[in-house]
Chain A
Amino acid sequence: MSVGLPYFLFLSAGLFAVGCFGLLARRHAVAVLMSGQLMFGAAAIALVAFARFGYRDSQPLAGQVFALFVMGTAAVELALGIALLLLVFRQRSTIFVDEFGDR
């Protein structure tokens, strides 16, 4: 018995769904950003799994290369999100997303 592609894709889908719930439901802005990071991680798992189980000589490890791009984009998104969050926190003195529009 071996672990195949469907297992990793279901894992990716589950992680993506959990991140989607956190992105929509959490009040704390840093928790929203962390949930977004989970969604990026889910995409990376799927890409690496495709590279592992669908290897092509013409485009070797293309999935891993794109997973690198996804991880770089995720880091940039987190940095910008934190900078925006700090700016809003200085002006509104609150960290909860449902209170950002109150003043």
Chain B
Amino acid sequence: MVIASYLTGALMLAGAVAVVLLRRIAQAAAALIFTFAMLAVLFLLLSADFLFAVQLFLDTVLVGLLVGAAIAMTRVAPEGSASPMNRQAIAAGIVAVAVFILLSGVLIKTAWPLSPWPNLPRTDDIIAGALFGQYVVALEALAVLILAGVAGAVLLGLADEPRARVAPTLPQRERGRRKRRVRPPVSTEIKP
């Protein structure tokens, strides 16, 4: 158990570093899927069997598919020797280290109130009772958030289409001009 926890944690952190540092985005996406798989194993080691299943399906499979689709739809020419990092990489590194030191300092100084684990055989029934009992309002708010997010994503995906329908093509404009042109009437009167 101890060795499994340390090994899983180390693999998960290695995968996360690979996500951040790999130049090729497809490889970074594969590293992300690996990191989430290790995260699911970590949930299992923390006696969260239901979350292990959710993490495996939701984050590992679904997020992997979403990210893969996004990479496929935004393919650009190879960067060559361009760096995967932008100009603020050094400042970002300083901020990341500062965040880690700040969080670690809080973790060390706080006296966390611990209690023994009651060795629950399964957790899904307790989570279901909590979701539809004590936390039902938060659950409904999450449902509204998901609905708003999906609606927003669909609307953003359709955002370019109305513009294409409004602008007529050149032959259509020409046909319109020809129809509107009115010929002057031809006089049939015979002049002396």
B91 within 8 A of A: yes
Q: Given the complex of chains A and B, what is the CA–CA distance between A64 and B125 in angstroms?
A: 12
| Secondary structure dominating the interface of A | helix
How far apart are B130's CB and chain A's nearest CB, in angstroms? Answer: 5
A25 touches B92 (CB 8 A): yes
B19 touches A34 (CB 8 A): yes
| Secondary structure dominating the interface of B | helix
B-contact bits for A14-33, CB 8 A (1 contact / 0 none): 11111111111111111101
How far apart are A1's CB and chain B's nearest CB, in angstroms? Answer: 6
Interface size class of B (residues with CB under 8 A): 35 or more
Q: How many residues of A contact B (CB 8 A)?
A: 79
Q: Given the complex of chains A and B, what is the CA–CA distance between A67 and B50 in angstroms?
A: 11
Nearest to A99 among chain B residues (CB) is B86
A87 touches B156 (CB 8 A): yes
How far apart are A17's CB and chain B's nearest CB, in angstroms? Answer: 4
Query: B29 is contacted by which of A16, A34, A53, A89 (Cβ under 8 Å)?
Result: A34
A71 touches B104 (CB 8 A): no
A28 touches B99 (CB 8 A): no
A-contact bits for B96-119, CB 8 A (1 contact / 0 none): 110110011001100011111110
Q: Given the complex of chains A and B, what is the CA–CA distance between A10 and B85 in angstroms?
A: 26
Query: B16 is contacted by which of A10, A15, A24, A77 (Cβ under 8 Å)?
Result: A15
Q: Given the complex of chains A and B, what is the CA–CA distance between A73 and B159 in angstroms?
A: 24
B126 touches A24 (CB 8 A): no
How far apart are A68's CB and chain B's nearest CB, in angstroms? Answer: 7
Q: Given the complex of chains A and B, what is the CA–CA distance between A74 and B63 in angstroms?
A: 10
Segment of B52-60, B170-178, B182-190 engaged in the interface with chain A: B52-60
- CB-CB under 8 A from A11, the residues of chain B are 9, 12-13, 42
Q: A22-B19, A31-B84, A38-B16 are in contact. Are A72 and B127 (CB under 8 A)?
A: no
Q: Which 8 A-B pairs have the closest CB atoms?
A: A24-B92, A22-B20, A76-B149, A21-B96, A17-B100, A13-B103, A25-B92, A83-B153
